[in-house]
Chains A and B, each alone.
Chain A
Amino acid sequence: MSFGEEVVRFHRVTKTIKAEEGERTLFEDIELSILSGEWVAIVGASGAGKTTLLSMIGALDNRFEGELEVLDHSLLTLNDNELAMLRSQHIGFIFQDFHLLTHLSVLENVAFPLWISRAKADQTELVRAQNVLSDVGLASRWNSKVTHLSGGEQQRVAIARALVGDPRLIIADEPTGNLDEVSSECVLDLFEALRTPDDSGQAARTVVVATHDPRVAQRADRIIKLEEQKLVMVEAVS
């Protein structure tokens, strides 16, 4: 895969959710295309549906109408196990609350996605995890308890965990929402760097970030705004 290939394609996608007052349409007939190597920011008011959109792109949710292709798979045709497989092999997740597993060490947290992927278990899992951990600058903390890390450090561990399976698509929901300014900068720098995979010859990674922080959005290649059930292309940043 090279730059410019279509990684995500929405065609006339409508998402309705059940709310207290009945059915509510979050977005209707949207069209969106995200190319490999792109860094896309999704912005919008709180409650506009950014998280919902991300969970669809991340193959977490395939209950919608229309067509959505992610990494050459039409999501509506995949069953639950196939969606899990797709996530396990090709998609990395970064959460606002980090969501590290507190009973595992830093290194084990990073290796965790490799353990649950049905790939053959081999001894290099921890080595691979250690490499990714040095990429995010936390090599020396590999044996720490995750609860002993600062918020910024925890998010870097989470980024390492998202990267360990060498995914083609990275999904981040408000990744700096719980971080101070310095840590946020550090995380955004990492995003910049992680788009280029470590092994040469491989395709660039695609990053989709939902945020309501304009400074985060400014770092992206492209900003997409969710407004009144529609997607509005705001600008191509660079």
Chain B
Amino acid sequence: MRWRQLITRDLVRHKRQWLGVCIAVASSVGVTAFMGALTAGVYRYAIKPMVPRLPLEYLRVEPRTLSIGGITFDAGRLSGGYGLDESTLGEIQELKGVAKVFPVVGAKVPLRAEGGEGFLGRRLRTDIFATGVPPELIEDDIADGQEFKDNPEGPVPVVIARRLLELYNTTVAPVVEKPRLSERMATGFMFVIQIGRSYATASHRTGKVRKVQARIVGFSDRASMVGLTIPEATMRRWNREYGSASPVSAAWVQLEDPAYAGAVTKRIEQWGLRLDETPKLMAAGIAIAGLLLVLCWVLLLMLSAWAIAQVYFLMLAERRTEFAVIRALGARKWDLCRWLLIESVVVGTVGTLIGLVVGLGAAIGLSEWLRSFVAVLSFKPVSLVDVPLVLLGLTLFLGIGASVCGALVPAVLTSRIEPGSALRN
């Protein structure tokens, strides 16, 4: 034998007590699965779409600006440090570990965009920002069959920040009851750009206003978050056309290896320039949240192990004589211990499965209920529940682990029962 049969018999015989253990396991697993699925869901459907996914080998450098009464100064230059201009870009290029520096050129002309009747149902007019970047910076993100280069004759190629599309899909589309757009669907979309005119600044002083066709040719994580990204040459041409120079508003620094990020960042900051730290902060925030969650789980594991241990103590105390008899009949301590631990694995597994079903069910229920409320708000994620494999694995581990941990001390203490006490009652 037949330990298997003995264990089955024992579980059936003491089903009330084992049910207690099972409920203790199921509760803690239920709470964990519930919390975990909601956390993962909120992260996946609400937080993650907001976080830029920047490849680690790219750094974004901006001039340190100082704003007093609406006038913005280049603070780096004011304090005797570097501003962000062609010569600074050259020096950054010389730093060890830097593969290439890409300038981001700002617009000195007012711009407006018109269009969208195709899928919005009405024509939309809005002032927009635009920046120009060298094609090599985003060439990987240009859709097949599209081109991203200056062409005075054809439509202006435009690249949009991938996050903007995600924001549209998660927050705008549900509200205006439009289907979500994939990158493929949105690529090729045509609209009109009016150069030299905006609602905010009225017409440009040279007075020349003209319209050009524009076409979306791709989505990129290195595209501007606040407007359109067009080829650098096009931007410079427009600025020249309106009698302006082309200021470098920011730069992308491509590293030979992400490992250089620390050193390069340090040098650039010493020059009084600013690095966009949003991704870094976001990553740190998410890491801390994750750490807190893991801490919560460890705490929960310990708490449930403790609760389970109490149930075991009660159950085993009731059965001391029985265990003493089994010891007297020749079972070793280890036989008894192993027997109880195997039973705790079996019960832990059953409890875990029950807890998973209940916890995940509750999470889905709550998610749907909450979503029925937020429908009126501008933000409506597809779901608030996500069950990644790692959550399933962790929960199984937690449930069975808590059951075994909780059983461990009681099992060891029980196995130490004096076999001689079988003779006394």
Q: Do A and B come from one complex?
A: yes
Question: Which secondary structure characterizes the binding site on chain B?
Answer: helix
Per-position binary interface string of chain A over residues 80-116, scored 1 when its CB falls under 8 Å from any chain B CB and 0 otherwise: 1100110111000101110101111000100011011
A125 vs B333: C-alpha distance when bound (angstroms): 23
Contacts of A81 in B (CB 8 A): 332-334
On whether A116 and B322 interact (CB within 8 A), knowing A99-B422, A103-B12, the answer reads no
Contact A51 B330 (CB under 8 A): no
Cβ contacts under 8 Å, B12 to chain A: 103
- Within the complex, which residue of A60, A96, A116 is in contact with B335, where a contact is CB–CB below 8 Å? A116
On whether the beta carbons of A101 and B325 are closer than 8 Å, the reply is yes
Given A60-B418, A60-B422, A103-B10: A121 in contact with B329 (beta carbons within 8 A):
no
Do A173 and B326 form a contact, CB below 8 Å, given A102-B13, A103-B10?
Answer: no
B234 within 8 A of A: no
A61 CB–B CB distance under 8 Å: yes
Alpha-carbon distance A80/B334, docked complex (angstroms)? 10
CB-based contact A116/B333 at 8 Å: no
Instruction: Tell me the bound Cα distance from A58 to B422 in angstroms.
Output: 12
Q: Which residues of A contact B325 (CB under 8 A)?
A: 95, 99, 101
B328 touches A93 (CB 8 A): yes
CB proximity to A under 8 Å, residues B219-266:
none
Q: Mark A40-66, 1 if CB is under 8 A from B, else 0.
A: 000000000001001100101100000
Contact of A103 among B2, B14, B418 (CB under 8 A): B14
Task: Give A58 to B418 CA distance when docked, in angstroms.
Answer: 13
Check A93–B329 contact: CB distance below 8 A. yes
Residue of A nearest to B1 (CB): A115
Which residues in B have their C-beta under 8 angstroms from that of A93?
Answer: 328-329, 422-423
CA distance A87 to B331 in the complex (A): 9
Is the Cβ of A117 less than 8 Å from the Cβ of B423? no
Given contacts A87-B328, A99-B325, contact A55 B420 (CB under 8 A): yes
B208 at the interface (CB under 8 A from A): no
Cβ-defined contact, A116 with B326, below 8 A:
yes
B153 CB → nearest A CB, Å? 89
Q: Let me know if A103 and B13 touch, CB within 8 A.
A: yes
B423 to A60, Cβ gap below 8 A? Answer: yes
Min Cβ gap A99→B in Å is 4
Nearest Cβ in chain A — how far from B201, in angstroms? Answer: 88
CB distance from B425 to the nearest CB of A (A): 6
In the complex formed, the residue of A with least CB distance to B9 is A103
- Taken together as a complex, chains A and B put the C-alpha atoms of A88 and B27 apart, in Å, by 41
A-contact 0/1 string along B8-31, CB 8 Å cutoff: 011011100000000000000000
- Tell me, rounded to whole Å, the shortest Cβ–Cβ distance linking A12 to chain B: 21
Measured CB to CB, the closest approach of chain B to A14, in angstroms, equals 17
Q: How far is the CB of B279 from chain A (nearest CB, A)?
A: 61
* Least Cβ–Cβ distance between B50 and chain A, in angstroms: 58
**Chain A residues, CB < 8 A from B327:** 84
Q: How far is the CB of A90 from chain B (nearest CB, A)?
A: 10
Cβ contact within 8 Å between A87 and B423: no
B422→A117 contact, CB < 8 A? no
Known: A81-B333, A103-B14, A161-B329. 16 other contacts (CB 8 A): A55-B420, A55-B423, A60-B419, A61-B420, A80-B332, A81-B332, A84-B330, A99-B325, A99-B422, A101-B322, A101-B326, A103-B9, A108-B9, A117-B330, A165-B330, A173-B423
Q: List 21 A-B contacts (CB under 8 A).
A: A55-B420, A60-B419, A60-B420, A80-B332, A84-B419, A88-B329, A93-B423, A95-B325, A95-B422, A96-B425, A97-B425, A99-B422, A102-B13, A103-B12, A103-B13, A104-B6, A115-B3, A115-B6, A116-B329, A116-B331, A161-B329
Residues on B close to A: CB < 8 A? 1-3, 6, 9-10, 12-14, 321-322, 325-335, 418-420, 422-425
Closest 10 CB pairs of A and B: A88-B330, A103-B13, A55-B420, A60-B420, A115-B1, A99-B325, A61-B420, A116-B331, A87-B330, A84-B332
